[in-house]
A = this chain, B = another copy of it.
Amino acid sequence: MPARVIIENVRPEIDGGRYPIKRSVGDPVVVTANIFADGHEALAARLRFRQAGETEWTETPMEPAVWGLDLWRGRFRVRHMGVYYYTVEAWLDHFQSWRRDFQKKVQAGQDVSVDVLVGAELVQAASQRASGADADQLRAWSQALYSKQGDLDGRIERALDDSLASLVEKYPDRRSAVTYSKELAVSVDREKARASAWYEMFPRSSSPVPGRHGTFKDCEERLPYVAGMGFDVLYLPPIHPVGHTNRKGRNNNPVRQPHDVGSPWAIGAPEGGHKAIEPQLGSLEDFRRLMARAREHGLEVALDIAFQCTPDHPYVKEHPEWFRWRPDGSIQYAENPPKKYEDIYPLEFENEHWRELWEELKSVFLFWIEQGVRIFRVDNPHTKPLAFWEWVLADLKREYPDLLFLSEAFTRPAVMYRLAKLGFTHSYTYFAWRNTKWELTQYFTELTQTDVREYFRPHLWPNTPDILTEYLQYGGRPAFMARFVLAATLGANYGIYGPAFELCENRAVRPGSEEYLDSEKYQIRHWDVQRPDGLREFIARVNRIRRENPALLNDTSLQFHPVDNDQLIAYSKATEDFSNFILVVVNLDPHHRHSGWLDLPVESLGLDPHQAYQVHDLLSDARYFWHGSRNYVELNPHVCPAHIFRVRRRLRTERDFDYFM
Contact check, B34 vs A414: say whether CB atoms are below 8 A apart: yes
Q: Tell whether A350 pairs with B1 under 8 Å between CB atoms, given A117-B328, A118-B327.
A: yes
CB of A148 closer than 8 Å to a CB of B: no
Interface string of A105-121 (1 = CB under 8 A from B): 10110100010011011
Residues of B close to A335: CB separation below 8 A: 101
Contact check, A338 vs B107: say whether CB atoms are below 8 A apart: yes
Chain B residue nearest in CB terms to A391: B2
Contact check, A114 vs B328: say whether CB atoms are below 8 A apart: yes
Interface of A is mostly: mixed
Cα separation A100 to B9 with both chains bound (whole Å): 43
Chain A 1-53 residues near chain B, CB threshold 8 A: 1-4, 6, 8-9, 15-16, 34, 36-40
Interface string of A309-340 (1 = CB under 8 A from B): 00000000000000000111010000111100
CB of A412 closer than 8 Å to a CB of B: yes
Chain B residue nearest in CB terms to A418: B6
Chain A 331-361 residues near chain B, CB threshold 8 A: 335-338, 349-351, 354
Interface string of A417-442 (1 = CB under 8 A from B): 01000000000000000000000000
Interface pick from A292-300, A380-388, A555-563:
A380-388
Range class of the A interface residue count: 35 or more
Interface string of A137-172 (1 = CB under 8 A from B): 000000000000000000000000000000000000
Residues of B close to A382: CB separation below 8 A: 38-39
Contact check, B349 vs A1: say whether CB atoms are below 8 A apart: yes
Interface string of A56-73 (1 = CB under 8 A from B): 000000000000111100
Cα separation A101 to B337 with both chains bound (whole Å): 6
Contact check, B118 vs A326: say whether CB atoms are below 8 A apart: yes
Residues of B close to A601: CB separation below 8 A: none
Q: Tell whether A70 pairs with B328 under 8 Å between CB atoms, given A101-B337, A336-B40, A383-B39.
A: no
Q: Report the minimum CB–CB distance from A388 to chain B (whole Å).
A: 8
Chain B residue nearest in CB terms to A382: B38
CB of A413 closer than 8 Å to a CB of B: yes
Cα separation A120 to B328 with both chains bound (whole Å): 13
Cα separation A474 to B412 with both chains bound (whole Å): 56
Cα separation A260 to B200 with both chains bound (whole Å): 88
Q: Report the minimum CB–CB distance from A249 to chain B (whole Å).
A: 21
CB of A104 closer than 8 Å to a CB of B: yes
With beta carbons under 8 angstroms apart, the residue of B16, B101, B326, B385 that contacts A38 is: B385
Contact check, A338 vs B104: say whether CB atoms are below 8 A apart: yes
Chain B residue nearest in CB terms to A13: B16
Residues of B close to A6: CB separation below 8 A: 386, 418
Q: Report the minimum CB–CB distance from A446 to chain B (whole Å).
A: 13
Chain B residue nearest in CB terms to A389: B38
Q: Tell whether A15 pairs with B8 under 8 Å between CB atoms, given A38-B385, A114-B327, A336-B40.
A: yes
Contact check, B387 vs A327: say whether CB atoms are below 8 A apart: no
Cα separation A391 to B2 with both chains bound (whole Å): 11
Cα separation A34 to B415 with both chains bound (whole Å): 9
Q: Tell whether A386 pairs with B38 under 8 Å between CB atoms, given A1-B349, A8-B418, A326-B114.
A: yes
Chain B residue nearest in CB terms to A383: B39
Q: Tell whether A69 pairs with B413 under 8 Å between CB atoms, given A39-B383, A328-B114.
A: yes
Q: Report the minimum CB–CB distance from A342 to chain B (whole Å).
A: 12
Chain B residue nearest in CB terms to A1: B354
Contact check, B3 vs A387: say whether CB atoms are below 8 A apart: yes
Contact check, A412 vs B36: say whether CB atoms are below 8 A apart: yes
Q: Report the minimum CB–CB distance from A199 to chain B (whole Å).
A: 30
Residues of B close to A15: CB separation below 8 A: 8-9
Contact check, B414 vs A4: say whether CB atoms are below 8 A apart: no
Contact check, A338 vs B39: say whether CB atoms are below 8 A apart: no
Q: Report the minimum CB–CB distance from A197 to chain B (whole Å).
A: 30
Cα separation A351 to B4 with both chains bound (whole Å): 13
With beta carbons under 8 angstroms apart, the residue of B4, B9, B114, B337 that contacts A108 is: B337
With beta carbons under 8 angstroms apart, the residue of B38, B105, B349, B383 that contacts A384 is: B38
Residues of B close to A107: CB separation below 8 A: 338
Contact check, B414 vs A70: say whether CB atoms are below 8 A apart: yes
Q: Report the minimum CB–CB distance from A420 to chain B (whole Å).
A: 13
With beta carbons under 8 angstroms apart, the residue of B100, B327, B386 that contacts A117 is: B327
The 7 closest A-B pairs by CB, nearest first: A108-B338, A2-B387, A117-B327, A104-B337, A70-B414, A16-B16, A1-B354
- Give 11 A-B pairs besides A8-B414, A39-B382, A69-B414 with Cβ atoms closer than 8 angstroms: A1-B350, A3-B387, A4-B385, A9-B15, A38-B383, A68-B412, A68-B413, A101-B335, A117-B326, A118-B327, A120-B327
What are some 18 contacts across the A-B interface (CB < 8 A)? A1-B351, A1-B387, A2-B391, A4-B386, A8-B418, A9-B414, A38-B383, A38-B384, A68-B413, A69-B413, A104-B337, A104-B338, A105-B338, A107-B338, A110-B337, A114-B326, A117-B327, A120-B327
